[in-house]
Structure 1
Amino acid sequence: MKEPRFKGITSEKSSHNMSKIHGKDTKIEVILRKALWEKGYRYRKNYRAIPGCPDIAITKYKIAIFCDGEFFHGKDWEVLRPRLEQGKNPDYWIKKIERNRTRDKEKDAELLYLGWTVIHFWGKDILKKTDECIRVIEEAVFDNKIGDDEID
Structure 2
Amino acid sequence: MAYAAFCLPRQSVFNGSLTAATRHWAAPRLSKGRAAIKATTTDPVRSAVMRSVKSKDTAPEMLVRRLVHGLGYRYRLHRKDLPGNPDLVFPSRQKVIQVNGCFWHGHDCLRGARQPKANAEYWLAKVARNVERDGRNEAALREGGWDVLVIWECQTKLRDREDLAGRLRAFLSAEP
State if a TM-score over 0.5 links the two structures. Answer: yes
For residue 80 of structure 1, give the secondary structure of its aligned residue in structure 2: coil
Which of 70, 83, 98 is the matching residue for 2:128? 98
Cα distance change of structure 1 residues 122 and 42 upon mapping to structure 2, 3 Å threshold: same
SS of match in other structure, 1:65: strand
Within the candidate set 117, 141, 144, 1:111 is matched to: 141
The equivalent residue for 2:113 is: 80
**Residue type matched to 1:45 in 2?**
L
Q: CA RMSD in A?
A: 2.6
Q: What is the distance in 1 between the residues matched to 2:126 and 2:55? A: 15
The answer for the alignment partner of 2:88 in structure 1 is: 56
Alignment length (residue pairs): 139
Out of 161, 167, 174, the position equivalent to 1:130 is: 161
More helix by share: 1
Distance (Å, rounded) in 2 between the aligned partners of 1:123 and 1:14: 23
Give me the whole-angstrom Cα distance separating, in 1, the residues matched to 2:104 and 2:56.
14
Q: Aligned letter for 1:98? A: A
- Amino acid aligned to 2:171: A
Q: Cα distance 1:77–1:138, how it changes in 2: closer, same or farther (>3 A)?
A: closer
User: Unaligned 5+ residue runs, structure 1?
Assistant: 148-152
Cross-structure match for 1:150:
none
One-letter code aligned to 1:74: G
Which 5+ residue runs of structure 2 have no aligned equivalent? 4-37
Which protein, 1 or 2, shows the higher relative CO under an 8 Å CA cutoff with sep ≥ 6?
A: 1
**Corresponding residue SS for 1:24:** coil
Point out the more displaced range, 124-133 or 59-68.
124-133
Identity fraction in percent? 28
Q: Does 1:27 align with 2:27?
A: no
Tell me the TM-score normalised to structure 1 length: 0.79
Query: 1:46: Cα distance to partner?
Result: 0.8
Quote the Cα distance in structure 2 between the aligned partners of 1:68 and 1:93. 17
Q: What is the distance in 2 between the residues matched to 1:130 and 1:101?
A: 25
Partner letter of residue 94 of structure 1? L
Q: Does residue 43 in structure 1 map to residue 40 in structure 2?
A: no
